[in-house]
Chain A
Amino acid sequence: MCQFGVRSGWSPVSRPSPGGAELSTCCAESARGVDRSGGHRDNPPVSKIREFLATPAGRFVWRYVAVLSVGFLILALRPVNDHVVDPYTTFVANESRVVLNLLGENARVVGQVLTSPRFSVTIFNGCNGLEAILIFVSGVLAFPAPWLRKVVGVALGFVAIQVFNVIRVVSLFYVGVWRPQWFNVSHVFVWQSLVIVFGVVLWLVWVRRYALAKTQR
């Protein structure tokens, strides 16, 4: 996550007043009557799920989830984090520094901190674009298309998301400079939503314009 002053996400606060919340009791007993015989072929919800997974939509969804899960598991490994994710994040910070300096800022990078006399941003996991890239790449790999087109899609998508992410970091930098009170909203709400939508649009365009460009004719 990007950061301004105080790290977004977790932060210590004082204990709320006792009257601040309605406490509810544990309800373990309420689950005793639940039917746990799921998995039977005549069980309507299970058979519906099986039917769905047998459709192209279902196949795409489970392949997508599988590729995505494996990808995120790999990214979560400490050696991968230390030797791939962290250097990549520094690379993103340096890309943003170059753009900011072209815009007249005296920016520099210290580790994963993009700093200037006017503002500083720390780029964490979740802000380096790797997640968006992985989500797009998983969509490309899960889709039934020729492998060469998948490779081209992955390469072009990687570049596009890189550019998008640099725009995001630079814009957040200027939000921090001019409207620091808007930083958290811009960071969490606006840009993360846009990243997801951008990834989906990119995937749609890839499928429509490239993945199926000739195979359907």
Chain B
Amino acid sequence: MRSRRPNADLRAFLIRLPAALAAAVAVWFLVRPLYNPALCAVAQEIARFGERPAASMVVLRDNDALLGRSDLRANSEWLKLPMTQLHFNLVPFLALVLALPAPLSGGHWRKLLVALGVLALSHALGLVWELKALEALSMGPWSRATYSDLARNVYGTLRYFFNIPVTFALPLVLWVAVYWERVVALVNLPAMGEA
């Protein structure tokens, strides 16, 4: 598919983008009160998968996730992670989606739902790796006694990857994957929609 008006589609996309960004921010603010507790609950379930005793905890306080363990002494400190840092990439993803014309048409809503699911999973896993990295790396002798060097390195690496590369790159990857035909049209690239 190739646009008959070179650059017109891209120009229209760029013109729509600021409004789409504003709409994405509005959606994010509306969804956040429901999304934050759900994310913490899912992350805690994943973190406790196969864990004996099941003591990893993810607790929501205001807009922060408090990470720790329930089997440590009562006066031990917990760590606070702003939830915004985890899921702000929902905003650029939604902005890119909303800047496209009719983003839900042609069955795209199904792909969009899958993409949002992937994004949500990345948020939950990001929270899990933060928790696991905390347990494996930052709890002193307990960490060294409980986690092997390999596990410590794996959790540290996963935390890094979900903290920066996945957070920053996933919106573009998902957007391109869901709307490939539209992106092809946007960049005026013919015959790329075919395998």
A residues whose Cβ falls under 8 Å from a Cβ of B = 8-16, 20-28, 31, 51-52, 54-58, 60-61, 64-65, 68-69, 72, 76, 125-126, 131-132, 135, 138-139, 144, 184-185, 188-189, 192-193, 195-197, 199-201, 203-205, 207-209, 211-212, 216
Contact = CB atoms under 8 A, between A and B. Distances in A.
Given A135-B172, A212-B188, A23 B57 contact: yes
Contact of A10 (B68, B75, B79, B160): B79
Nearest to B64: A13
Which one of A23, A69, A197 has the highest number of Cβ atoms from chain B below 10 Å of its Cβ?
A: A197
Contacts of B44: 21, 24
Given A189-B91, A193-B91, A16 B187 contact: no
B76 A132 contact: no
Contact of A16 (B13, B49, B66): B66
A11 B77 CA distance: 10
Contact of B164 (A23, A57, A58, A72): A72
A25 B14 CA distance: 48
Main secondary structure of the interface of A (DSSP, over half): helix
Contacts of B84: 184-185, 188-189
B21 interface: yes
19 contacts: A9-B81, A9-B82, A13-B79, A15-B76, A24-B45, A25-B48, A26-B52, A28-B49, A61-B177, A72-B161, A135-B172, A184-B82, A188-B88, A192-B88, A193-B88, A204-B13, A208-B10, A211-B187, A216-B2
Given A24-B48, A216-B190, A200 B172 contact: yes
Contacts, number: 173
A188 to B, nearest CB: 5
Given A65-B173, A76-B157, A125-B164, A212 B187 contact: yes
Interface of B: 2, 7, 10, 13-14, 17, 21, 40-41, 44-45, 48-52, 54, 57-61, 64, 66, 68, 70, 74-82, 84-85, 88-89, 91-92, 95-96, 157, 160-161, 163-165, 168-169, 171-173, 175-177, 180, 183-184, 186-190, 192-195
A199 B176 CA distance: 13
The 3 A-B pairs of least Cβ separation, nearest first, read A57-B180, A196-B92, A26-B54
Contacts of A189: 84, 88, 91
A10 B95 CA distance: 28
Given A13-B78, A24-B48, A197 B17 contact: yes
A198 B124 CA distance: 26
Given A126-B164, A131-B165, A196-B171, A201 B79 contact: no
A162 to B, nearest CB: 17
A204 B187 contact: yes
B48 to A, nearest CB: 5
